[in-house]
Structure 1
């Protein structure tokens, strides 16, 4: 089905960009030679924190260079996320939540793992949901300034967050998946 021919690392800076040449067996049995580039920056985790008392979610807003270059958007609204960097997904997500939002949660549930851009990026994300209340805020959040992070924390009513998807204020795929998952879960509980 797959026969590697060659690989060449084009860049090994923030992530690894590699050019691959290979043959792929097509469904009709013929072998086709292809060349592709992949970007490997490691796997990650993301989480949507939900307050069932206020029906609000915690989101973040920060500058993302690729988004700015491909649309001029100065700040992206998204669910907290981070790279695993050798850690387990649950532990790393808890650390990211504290770092980015200042909130700790005792309730963190793994939902699923998703490849977000499988045509060129090797990364998959572990998706989580968590529950929070005002008393779970134990730090300032905002990210690590020495890593270039300047993260604004937003507490948004779930109904407003869903409208923000339609208006284009939320354009981040992982965030949309998490918000829609939460909305489906709430609707299923009501029926």
Structure 2
């Protein structure tokens, strides 16, 4: 089903992009199809009578853009809470891959590691400072589990190899028009050593600055409103609740 989903997405671009570019963009279709498969096979979301696909009638779907990301336009109807069907709706959808995120934390020194990098979303919005403090993060590739992605990205972006990864939360940051889904982990590790000032993969155009700071310094950023990446804010608020509790002490 995953491969069929990827091929269907690519074929929707027939006549829109050069066929010679199919090999270039098909791996991204596979990765997005893998995220689709993760959603379809999530055991925490049981099938319900009258829910899911059975309650949505897709009248048309058009792939407007399919490269690193995808943009689709849907015409559909869905079941309303009173049992009737909605009017015909036109909706645009930004199709992204699932992402794994890690907040490295040293419970012995009460320090965390953050990364800083240029972010196109902030720049495109008009942000005067599009370099943002963030957790370690990366897209879940085909064949990977989210926790495997978290380990890979921790090594690529910060050189961290030995982490005890604890699931913190997962979910949709903006479900109204995006498929983006985050899998967030707390990464218990040793941050007492020296860390290089930069990381990331040059082949992917990454230019990353690493920052090791006390938990209090990071939490003060949240209080001051200067932490503008919401998954990081959520993680720091949860860590503030758990750092003296069972989540960290038992790990």
Q: What TM-score does the superposition give when structure 1 sets the normalisation length?
A: 0.91
Q: Give the Å deviation of 1:168.
A: 2.8
Please give the secondary structure, in 1, of the residue aligned with 2:109. coil
- 1:185 equivalent to 2:217? Answer no
Q: Give the Å deviation of 1:104.
A: 1.6
Match of 2:100 in 1: 45
RMSD in angstroms over aligned alpha carbons? Answer: 1.9
- 1:5 equivalent to 2:59? Answer yes
Please give the secondary structure, in 1, of the residue aligned with 2:88. strand
- Aligned partners of 1:103 and 1:141 also within 8 Å: no
- 1:143 equivalent to 2:197? Answer no
Match of 1:104 in 2: 161
Distance 1:65 1:51, change over 3 A: same
Distance 1:37 1:136, change over 3 A: farther
Distance 1:108 1:188, change over 3 A: closer
Of 121-130 and 76-85, the range deviating more from structure 2: 121-130
- Aligned partners of 2:105 and 2:191 also within 8 Å: no
Match of 1:20 in 2: 74
- Distance (whole Å) between structure 2 residues aligned to residue 92 and residue 140 of structure 1: 22
**Structure 1 runs, 4 residues or longer, greater than 3 Å off:** 134-141
- Aligned partners of 1:104 and 1:137 also within 8 Å: no
Q: Which has the larger radius of gyration?
A: 2
Equivalent pairs counted in the alignment come to 189
Q: Which runs of 5+ in 2 are unaligned?
A: 1-54, 247-251
Match of 1:164 in 2: 221
Distance 1:163 1:138, change over 3 A: closer
- Distance (whole Å) between structure 2 residues aligned to residue 120 and residue 132 of structure 1: 36
Q: Which runs of 5+ in 1 are unaligned?
A: none
- Aligned partners of 1:45 and 1:127 also within 8 Å: yes
Q: Give the Å deviation of 1:162.
A: 0.9
Distance 1:188 1:110, change over 3 A: closer
- Distance (whole Å) between structure 2 residues aligned to residue 59 and residue 138 of structure 1: 11
Report 1 or 2 for greater relative contact order, CA contacts < 8 Å, sequence distance ≥ 6: 1
Please give the secondary structure, in 2, of the residue aligned with 1:182. helix
Normalized per residue, the structure richer in strand is: 1
- Aligned partners of 1:102 and 1:141 also within 8 Å: no
Deviations 1:73-97 (A, max 9, x none): 2301010010001211111111100
